[in-house]
Amino acid sequence: MPAVVETIAGLRSQLRIAAAEAATASSPQPLVALVPTMGALHDGHLALVQRAQESAAIVVVSIFINPLQFGSSEDLDRYPRTVDTDVECLRAAGVQFVFAPTIADMYPTGPTQTRVVAGDIGAVLEGNSRPGHFDGMLTVVSKLLNIVTPDIVVFGEKDAQQAFLVKRMVADLDIDVVVETVPTIREDDGLALSSRNRFLDGNQRTAATALPRALEAAASSAGAGTDAALSAARSVLEAEPAVELDYLAIVDPETFLAVDAEHRGPALVLVAARVGTTRLIDNHAIHLG
Ligand code: PAF
């Protein structure tokens, strides 16, 4: 069984003991990897865990549904809470530590007075649709990095803007950690795995495949440029009435700024849409010709 630790002090002391036990003459300071999650684990999370295990001797998976990153009209209450199943799944994967703090452990005096501000890129795309989301996300990620002090932290490429902003925070604030990213895991029909997919009924689940199909259409038309890629993706989404588009954009992966019609080379096409009451996001690397 992994050690399920709820308190910050408890985790710090157990990690010190584990590091001393795992130390060898050739590796006196065994590497520690952190996989931050909000639980409701699926194979996408397990791919992050596997990367962490390949990279480090000690793996910590945090499970914490961070209220700071949910807006007042968002799905905090409905976010799936499946800690027992999650712990069982992490046990089967051979994870040593699950850090599952309570809200009172993480925010003993209420929401933090001090926040990490995500800046301009934190205010576009997801940040435009979910004001404050990225400040809350970066604030909890920086707390988790301070608590665990990992050598490596692993994020999924499905949340591309999140991974971009974490890398920026780590660079901007000189945090001593390597940020690794892992490709999105998909169902056979292309739908990206997400903890929110469980809310889709049968028809919505079918409609949701319009997102990966739109991204594939953009990739296929990318040789003809930005406008062609966007319009190919938009046609797929518009053909699916159950999909309510939030945004569709193509950005430069180096800056996360929208590319213009003349842009050539690597780019990232991103989509967010609501299917019923469930909000889904996805993205795909493309090459604009
Ligand atoms: O991607 C998530 O699940 C969350 O945003 C994270 C990184 C665990 C921070 O709460």
Q: How far apart are CA 168 and CA 179, in angstroms?
A: 10
Q: Which of 35, 37, 148 for mutating ligand 1's site (highest number of atoms within 8 Å of CB)?
A: 37
**Quick one: residue 190, left, alpha or beta (phi over 0 = left, psi -120 to 50 = alpha)?**
left
| pLDDT tens per residue across span 33-50 | 999 999 999 999 999 999
Give residue 159 CA to ligand 1 midpoint distance, Å. Answer: 9
CA of 224 to the centre of ligand 1 (A): 36
Task: Work out how many domains the chain is built from and give that number.
Answer: 2
Give the distance (Å) from ligand 1 centre to CA of residue 36. 6
Task: Give this prediction's pTM.
Answer: 0.97
Q: Are residues 151 and 15 in the same domain?
A: yes
Question: What CATH number did the domain enclosing 217 receive?
Answer: 3.30.1300.10
> Of the residues 148, 182, 216, which one is the last residue of a structural domain?
182
Instruction: Choose one of 159, 182, 205: the last residue of a domain.
Output: 182
Question: Could you tell me if 233 and 123 lie in one domain?
Answer: no
Dihedral angle, C-alpha 109, 63, 17, 174, nearest 10 °: -70
Is residue 88 included in any domain, yes or no? Answer: yes
Using a 6 Å cutoff on CB, does residue 136 contact ligand 1? no
Q: List, for residues 133-191, the tens digit of each pLDDT value.
A: 999 999 999 999 999 999 999 999 999 999 999 999 999 999 999 999 999 999 999 99
Which atom of ligand 1 is least distant from the CA of 66?
10
Task: Specify whether 237 is located in the same domain as 176.
Answer: no
Domain that holds residue 89: 3-182
